[in-house]
Structure formats: C-alpha cells, structure tokens
Structure 1
Amino acid sequence: MVRDRVIALYGRFSPGGRERLQGQVLAGGGTVARDLTRRSGALVVGAQAWALVDGGALVERLAAARERGLPAYGERSFAALLADDDPRAGATAPLATALAQSGLGREDAEVLAAFDLITLARAEGGAETCRFGDPKVMRAAADLLAAGRTPGEVVRLLGEARDKAPVGRHRVVPAHAGAAALQWDDGRTTLEGQGLLPLDEDHASLDDLFEAATLAEVEGDDDRAARLYDLCARADRTDPIAPYNFGNIRLGQGAHDEAAMAYRRALARDARFAEARYNLAQALEAAGRAEAADAELSRLLELDPGHADAVFNLAQLRLKADDLTGARALFERYLALDPPDDWAATAHKAIAYCQARLPA
C-alpha cells in the first residue's frame, strides 16, 4: 500500500512513532514527507498533534486531503494498516445518524478520526460509516466542547481517557479545575480510575470502605463483604486486590464463573499477580474447564517457577488428563522444591503410580 507513494507524516507523533512508521514505509518501497505535498499519496496525523488543531492547520490538511481524494489516517490506524489489520473493517454504523445524535459536524468527525478516536469508512454505495461505539465518543466530545474546551483540548482529553482509563463502560465528562473525568454507571473517577466516586456507603474514603469490607468478611457476612469489595474495585480501577478478594468470596460460595471473571479483572490490572492467577486456575478447574486451568497454571509457572502449589496442582491436572509422563515430571519437580513431608509423600505415591502405568 506504500510502494512508490509519498506518505505525509504530519505533526507530533508518539515517542518513536515517526521513526517506526518511516522505517516501515521505506522498507515497503515508499517515501515520507513531513507535510502534504502535491506528490503525497496519503496523510498520516501524529497521535500527539493536538497543538495543530485549534490554529486550523490540521483542519486545513484534512480538508486538502479530502478534496484531493487522499486517504487520511491517524498514527494508530496507519500502523495497523501496515500490519495488514484494517481498522475500518468494523465501521458499519451510519455516520449521519451518529453526527445527528451528537450534534457534531463532519469536520469535527474528521478531527476525531485523525486521532483514532473514531473510525470513518465508506459502505458499498458510498454512504459514510463509523463504528457502533463511536457515537459515545462523539457525544463526549460534544459535552466537552459545550463546557468550553477547545477542539485541541478535546482530542487530548479523549486520547488520555482512551490510553489511561481502565476498560469498561464509561464516557468522558467535564470536571472541575479544567480537567476531565470518567462518568460510569455508578459514579465518577479521574482518567486514571481514581478518586471522584460518590460511594453509597457512609465512609469518608476508600480506605474506610475497604476496611468495612474486610470486617464484613471476618464477621462472616460474605454477601456484604462481596458488595463492598466490588464497590472498592469500581472506585479504584487500578487496584487488583479488591476484585481478587471479591473473587475469593465468590469462589468460596461456589460461584465459579463469577469468581473467574473477578480474577481476570484483577489480572487485567496486574498481570503478575500470582495469587489471582493461581485462584483463577482453581475456579476454572472447579467449573470443569481443566484445559483452561492447565493453561493458567503453566502461565503462572513461567512467571514464578518456584510456585510449589502451582507445580503440584498442575501435576494433578496432568494426572487426571492421563498425561502420565508430564505428571511424573511435575511431581518430581515438586519434590525438588522441598515440600512438607505429608505433601511429599503424596507426590512420591503419584510418581510410583505413573511409573507403574508407563511402559518400561
């Protein structure tokens, strides 16, 4: 797609982004320029080119590309295209409807698309389309504009929300002191997922809420503890401990699928959280998903080879799957970790069982 074409890499790119894209274009037989020229075959806008929005320079480039029939991409979407992954494939919602719902104009949509905040495409017949989730982004942009933010500030804030906010259903709304916040179904947080939630408990802080959850768990009120841990997890979307504790309660209650979801939530926040991955494997095994549990334990042992319990449980899974060779090797590995005598005895019995069934 770049051979014998001049690609305009316009504006400020993310760190190292310009160099990476330039190298790929050159390797593909194309050339690059820092601005649109008559020879340009495409316009690519840097992910950090916000300063070029309010003065009109970027809008002019986008209009010139449109008038000349040249494709315009954001930094991310162009990188995806070079990797043979067209982000426009999923853009099937009518753009006209999305614009009408948000109150934005076609030019506003072009600016959002230039920063990969929405995706613009054309359906068969020429009608312009976007992704089904893009109207939400457009409404957020309209809200920020109505609150007095400039178009350049809007794309910067929406980009920060996309890059820094945790995954989930939220929208960007104006906040105090010129900042922006994320509006969730159950309250507000900062772009980093911290802070602003008006919790439905009579506690002054997240520390108080977490303490109440812990006390409820100690007192045996598991349902209240689970609800409070869930509130903590929603209030601080960077903390892996609250969803982990929630998962532990649900695991103890036999709600294996819900527990697994909670552990995955914790791991999304901290992929090296060994306890969460170990308990995820337990929840998956209890739910009858032995292969998935095996995969999680194997992944855990890649990160923490000395996790004795994970070695033992994986050995048991392999034994149940009739993988006698793999089970024996794991039980031997377990013994090398110097386990307690009673567990070592169990491992020795398992090894003897495997040896007796394996061919001589």
Structure 2
Amino acid sequence: MPASGQSYGVVGALKAFPLRLAAKLVASRGGRLHRSITRGTTRIVIGRTLLSRLGEGEIEQRIAAARDSGAPLLSENAFLRTLGSLPASPPADLGRQSMLDQSGLSGDTLDLLTLFDAFEHHGPPYSFRDILLARKYAGLVATGASWSAIARSIHQIGPVGSLTALTLQTGADKILTSDAHSLAELDGQRLLPLLDTADEAEDYFGLAESAEAAELFAEAATHYAHCAAIDGSDATAPFNLGNCLRKLDDLDGAALAYATALKRDPHFIEAWFNYGGLLRDMGRIAAARQHLARAAELDPGFADAIYNLGALEYDAGDLGAARHWWTQYLGLDDSSDWARRARAGIRLADQVSRRTAS
C-alpha cells in the first residue's frame, strides 16, 4: 500500500537505516512515522533490531500488544517495499494455509518468522521457494530451535532465498549450515558482513523506554531529551518527555515538550490530548478547550477527549456545553463508570435548565 496518507508506528528500530531517515522518506511520500503506536497509526512496522535487543518472550509481548491496536503489522521488508527502497517481491500464489499444510510449521511460528522477513515474501501469497524455506525452518524447530534463534541467524548471510541451497541444523544457541566437508555458523563468515547502522537517537530512546517502564522518570526524561535533540523530525521523544516531566511536576517543561511534539507532528492526537489536560491543570482553560477539541476533531471516536471536554465545561459553569459533550460521549461508551458520571452530569444540567426556565 502506498505511503501517502498512512501513519506508521514503529516497534523497535529498523535494521536497514535510522528511523529519522525513514521518517523523511515517509514524509516525502505524504505519510507520517512515529517511534511508537498512536491513535492515528494506520500501519505498524516491526523493526528487526528487536531480535538483537530483546529476548524472545518480550518480543512476543510487544508484537501481541501491537496486534491489539487493530492496525495491520508490516515486516521491515514490507515497509521498505512500500517506500520503494526494496524491489517488489517475485510473483507468488500460495496462501497461508498452504504454507502451514506443506511445511509443518505452527501458525504462530509462521507469522512470527514472516514478520521478521524469514521468507522472500512479507506475507501471503507465498512462493514455492518460501515453502522450501518453511520446511527447513520446521525441521529446525523439530530439533529444538526457537523461532527467534532462526530469525536472528538467517539474516546474517544475506538474502534469505540463498538458504534454500543449504542444509541447516540446530546448534547450541544458533543455527548452523553444513556442506560435505564442514559445519559453519550461519553468521556471514563466508561473505562480507553487513555493517550495522549506528543510530544514537534510537539508543537513547531504548534507554528512555526502559527507565520510564521502571518509573525512573528523571532518568527517562534525560534520555528522551537527548533523543529529541538528535532527531529533530521525531515527535514521539518530546511527547514522552512531556509525560515524564509531568510525572515530575515540571509543568512548564512538560508544556514545552508537548508543544515541540505538536510542532513536529500537528496530527499527533495524544499530544493534543495530553497537552490539553496539562493546560487544564495549569488553569489555562481556553487553551485546554482548544487542545482537547482538536484531539476530538482529529479522532471523533476518542472518548476520553470528549468526556474531558464535558468535564472542563462543567467546571467552567457552562452546563449546556457540558451536556453536549457528555451526550456525545455516551454514544461511544454507555456502560462504564465514566458513562454513569456523564449521565449524572446530564441530569444535573437538565435540572438547572428547568429551574432557570421556571
């Protein structure tokens, strides 16, 4: 699918080149890219550096969370083909079920290997060469190899299609290839190795995410600030910086960080919402109203923004406006505790209106 009009969220980092370069390519084609999944994300890219930075269980958790967002997942090669940075896949006509039936792989393993570009095609339809690769991988799994060990090993020799001519077997913690004379690690020893692309911004971002998850907000803020300074096109790092500074009660710093995120990406829905909430806390009601309304305008299904607009108007004494927003909110959520609060607010607004009319 063309990049125009799409919003890509990247899980992990790309192996091919730094995310700031990817963001420029996407922007040049009329799309947007974030180092995270946002409400506006239409496609999620799984970066292959996850294989070198995280364990198998954590990778699976992050992919499961990405699937829960509802946006389609793309492998790194699928993303690069969308940008025109890789040639199109060769013709293919085999569906996912054919791959499962003819290879013996489980569905989960097939899907994970596909997301990490273990086949020539980044999804159905697959080719006969993909079937051959899948059978080899199934043999490795049967001898104790994990999907992540396979994925980590295969990309160290070049195009995966070249594996069809090799015999593969499982080593202690890696995949080995054998010929008539010897065993060798599948690590590119026979080829010139591909150089890793250094991306200092991505390193800082990874450190910041870990610190934030551990609730070390001051440390996380420092790393996010470094990332934001290095990559002037990224809106996610300053947005996350704003969240951390807000936790640290640095409201002015958080406001500046959110403003930076919105300058870099005016369609960043969560930044409009969080900045609106911060402005409300700072007593800047008119500005808060504008920011929350912009979040609701960008995503009419953003129930939290709509509810908060009702609460803001209620606190400001405009019960008619509060009733309007809470009625709209109930069209999105009619059963939660917040829905019950919205109904109570509407009843109060109606009572005041009747008393005023009489």
Tell me the TM-score normalised to structure 2 length: 0.45
Structure number with larger C-alpha Rg = 1
Tell me the TM-score normalised to structure 1 length: 0.44
- Between the two structures, name the one with larger relative contact order (CA 8 Å, sep ≥ 6): 2
